[in-house]
Structure 1
């Protein structure tokens, strides 16, 4: 398939005449049950020195497979079945394992998606960055250590010797990602494959990481293939964008071409799902302000070992509204959420939920409220019992409020309620017999929502419920939440670092920093006229502002 927008595949938008990487008619298949299952189909593009091309699309579109094929890092059951990849006139698809060892890390390198699984937990991070220098330079031990110090300074670390000696568990997610960038640039490669390098990071940390990659590109003319599902990042950071769907590159063009004149139907659907691009939901904040509060938090404090995670927070949430709490990792927003649902005890202050001060209740005293206040976690899969099928997962809250019964009798008695909860979450009844491992990320999040809805709560606390989802799946979940709120009068406390989503769905917003609320009010007022420097900095770091009209 020839991509639309731009010129012919292989040199779309490349006006330099020099092509560092050329991918021609690439086909990749995975061996499953002794049969080859085609995954990539006839993918072609090129990258010039110093150029950034972003590959965008949903999970399963082939973005990561394309990046891994370029680096010769396909899993054991994956293989290139057709086409050719050329780097500086060297055919990579014919490269031997020895040839890859000399090339990978020196001339081409990878910034992987998940730093948690990419760093050895038993080794100091400085030593892990040194590995690249050990393989691809003649530097002695003392020189390598000094070089790592310089790399750490380049990626924005201050006390570089302290960072050198630390283990991965001692670093935040953003710090771990910086370590991976330091490792990727150690040998000053000509090409970097950045596979979702900012997925799950706060807006300010994301900006810092992307700025580092941009500085490297300008300084060394390093080319970047940026694999991302974040269209805002692609809009801001790429020279060209390739849109992938089901293993095919369906459209290639500049950001202006892709976002103002998309040609392929899939590209149009993808862009239409971006929060702020589609029609804004009806948010009658004035009407909400006339309603009674269902949550009143006054001077809430939560300390761990003498350190305040939440330090004197106060706010109100009114019936039927969406109240969002935003801030960077460590700001205290998730701790606040856990206090609201009785999973964490407050150190001091008062928290009134549906007229009851939960700070005066023990776990047993809070129990009657659990039917009315439910939480939907960021990662539903980790909150599911792996032995359970979907029926058991959704039924779990019901069992907490029912007398013991024989399993078959209980399942028969609860089936109608389970089916109703699945249907409310836009899932067919047949899903009840599946296991969570058989579902996609978006389907698992719907199951988590069904589990929360099955006891017919009045308040839902949603802790980063769409942060790991593709833009179109996230849009579906947000529309579903809007429908449920209108139909059932639900009240939402929405915890998020995605400010575009918060702007699209919220009535009121509170901005947290270091355990304190630094600003709160109607969402349009806070986003349009932020008074706190922290809020201004947070809003200024959002990727794709021109795309989402913030």
Structure 2
């Protein structure tokens, strides 16, 4: 594969030595005594104070490259060629003892998932202190004072209280701040940030990235930012390296690469950004009618006396996409479960297809399940692990047509295959197990399962948030085509405003259980009326460089 690779002068001073130099790096994983190459001849430099974003989809080799720089490859991984040089040290030649003197002190890591990266039974202050204990000569009192300073640096107030808290007492964004404090504690020259905000809401993501930028500017630290999010890369980096199937296919200054990508794969990634999809400019579905299929009035649902949904009202018309957006804890997924008949309400009225479901028992709601289906964020967890693809898609038919389902063989095969073909899956996938499929293929199976009963309404709860950008674009195209062909009505739940902007007709913005604003896509995105909506829109990464949302 050809590579588009510019020679970059990283700073205005032409003779500044790079902090990190990766030359012709090759990495492989050994399985059953066979070495499989996963990174091939990757080359790049990072200058002092510079941010390099390594972008690519799952399996591209970006995380493997980052872990090789840190000397943290798994036991079956090995560097098979090339070199990694940090300052004047060749890292690929270091012993375990040599790595201990470098890692954490001169090169540090901000890991992807703050929920699993902190010890759950130790106070977070003590965990940051570990870095100082290992890499400085500070005594116990000085270490504690330094942790207080670091917590102030990452934006905490009441730092002694934070010092004494356990991870479970902090939000995801606060835990990520603790990890940033630990990463900068020994004032490293280089930070590897491995998808540091992928698990965070848009506004929290912006806060964390702003913080990382501020720390970098104060300390002059260089950053290698590993991300699949082109918006984050566009906003936060000086250079972008695009990895595909283990090769660095394009490398150059961020503004140039985003504005004028040279490699077909880079162009494909950028074309997969929701705001660039071809149907965005023709958003209104052909079959939208004035008929109301969902009516919600003053809906309220409490958990333990705390309102998850607090008196919301909205209407959805046949054939449209009505999106509900908001951060974690806003109440959007609880609303989705109510509409799908999976959660009872405490008060208010909900009518689906003319039927008031508010006081229906599960048995009374059952006839409506043919017409109202749900697609979840993680399809694999919603599949029976004993089922192959046929059984997964056929399950609703067996449930609603038990006599047919009791026959020997596969009596519903034609209907199952038709649903799979509608979801753009080959008919021969029926005999596969979901574990053999990719994430995008599993989501198509979930969509086929929702389609097999030919419903009128589909509730989509974060259906693409776990997918790579190009796979997510394929699923959005699929959903759009199905809506046009079948006149489907979608309730689309998401925290990703770029996706919502691309697929929706009308939008409701939820915060702390309430709808703070709703209207057409153009109204909400072009002229937001609520300050919270403005903050959400301002937090969208890459809106200026990858095809803005206004």
- The residue that corresponds to 1:488 in the other structure is 486
Match of 1:479 among 471, 477, 480: 477
* Structure 1 unaligned regions, length at least 5: none
Distance change (3 Å), C-alpha of 1:149 and 1:385: farther
What's the CA shift string for 1:103-144, capped at 9, x where partnerless? 111110111112222222333333322221221123333333
Cα pair 2:24 2:43 within 8 Å, conserved: yes
Going from structure 1 to structure 2, the CA distance change for 1:429 and 1:176 (only over 3 Å counts) comes to: farther
Q: What is residue 510 of structure 2 aligned with on the other side?
A: 512
Match of 1:526 among 517, 524, 527: 524
1:422 aligned residue (417, 420, 423) = 420
SS in 2 for 1:116: coil
2:432 corresponds to: 434
Inter-partner Cα distance in structure 2 for 1:297 and 1:164: 45
Task: Give the deviation of 1:307 after TM superposition.
Answer: 1.1
State the match for 2:283 in structure 1: 283
Change (3 A) 1:285 1:489: closer
Contact 2:113 2:199 in 1 (8 A): no
Query: Could you say which residue in structure 1 is the equivalent of 2:123?
Result: 124
TM-score by length of 1: 0.95
* Contact in 2 for aligned 1:111/1:181 (Cα 8 Å): yes
Structure 2, unmatched stretches of 5+, are none
| CA pair 432-169 structure 1, distance change in 2 beyond 3 A | farther
Q: Distance between the aligned counterparts of 2:208 and 2:415, measured in 1?
A: 46
What is the CA-CA distance between 1:298 and the residue it aligns to? 0.4
* Cα distance in 2, alignment partners of residues 428 and 339 from structure 1: 33
Which residue of the partner structure matches residue 188 of structure 2? 189
Distance 1:242-1:194 versus aligned 2 partners, 3 A rule:
same
Partner of 1:294: 293
Give the distance between the partners of 1:269 and 1:423, measured in 2 at CA. Answer: 24
Change (3 A) 1:162 1:445: farther
Q: TM-score under structure 2 normalisation?
A: 0.95
Verify the 8 A CA contact 2:417 2:427 in the aligned structure 1. yes
Deviations 1:47-82 (A, max 9, x none): 011000001111111110100000001111110000
Following superposition, the deviation at residue 486 of structure 1 comes to: 0.6
Matches within 5 A, 1:61-210: 61-210=60-209
Q: Compute the RMSD of aligned alpha carbons.
A: 1.8
Q: Choose 533-542 or 147-156, whichever is displaced more.
A: 147-156
Distance in 2 of aligned mates of 1:249 and 1:350:
55
Distance 1:169 1:377 in 2: 26
Measured against aligned partners, the alpha-carbon deviations of 1:209-240 in whole angstroms (never above 9, x if no partner) come to 10111011101110000111111111111001
Superposed CA offset, 1:442-497 (max 9, x none): 11211111121122211111111111211111100000000100111111001111
The answer as to whether partners of 1:23 and 1:43 remain within 8 angstroms in 2 is: yes
CA distance in 2, matches of 1:116, 1:388: 31
Partner of 2:4, secondary structure, is: coil
Distance in 2 of aligned mates of 1:163 and 1:402:
56
* Residue 339 in structure 1 maps to residue 338 in structure 2: yes
Rounded to whole Å, the distance in 1 between the matches of 2:45 and 2:250 is: 14
- State the 1:286 CA deviation: 10
How far apart, CA to CA, are the structure 2 residues paired with 1:162 and 1:287?
Answer: 56
- Report which stretch shifted further, 14-23 or 315-324: 14-23
How far residue 161 of structure 1 moved from its aligned partner, in angstroms, is 3.3
1:20 is matched with: 19
Q: Deviations over 1:290-335 (max 9, x none)?
A: 5211111101111112111111100001101000011111111111
Q: 1:28-39 counterparts in 2 under 5 A? A: 28-39=27-38
Distance 1:489 1:241, change over 3 A: same
Match runs of 1:347-362 below 5 Å: 347-362=346-361
Contact 1:26 1:44 in 2 (8 A): yes
The aligned counterpart of 1:365 is 364
Q: Deviation per CA, 1:246-300, whole angstroms, max 9, x where unpaired?
A: 1000111112211111111111111111111232332237983x52111111011
Verify the 8 A CA contact 1:12 1:252 in the aligned structure 2.
Answer: no
Confirm or deny: 8 A CA contact 2:50 2:221 kept in the other structure.
Answer: yes
Counterpart CA distance in 2 for 1:425 and 1:512 is 30
Matching residue of 2:39? 40
- Counterpart among 441, 445, 448 of residue 450 in structure 1: 448
- Matched residue pairs, number? 545
Farther-moved stretch of structure 1 (163-172 vs 207-216): 163-172
2:121 counterpart SS class: coil
2:461 alignment counterpart:
463
For 1:242 and 1:327, how far apart are their aligned partners in 2? 32
- 220-229 or 279-288: which moved more? 279-288
- 1-structure distance, mates of 2:166, 2:461: 28
Change (3 A) 1:360 1:30: same
- CA deviation after TM superposition for structure 1 residue 166, in Å: 3.1
Q: 1:390 to 1:144 in 2, by over 3 A?
A: farther
Q: Find the residue that maps to 1:520 and give its secondary structure.
A: strand
> Per the alignment, in what secondary structure is the counterpart of residue 187 of structure 1?
coil
- Return the offset for 1:2: 6.8
TM-aligned CA deviation for residue 369 of structure 1: 1.2
Q: CA deviation at 1:528?
A: 0.3
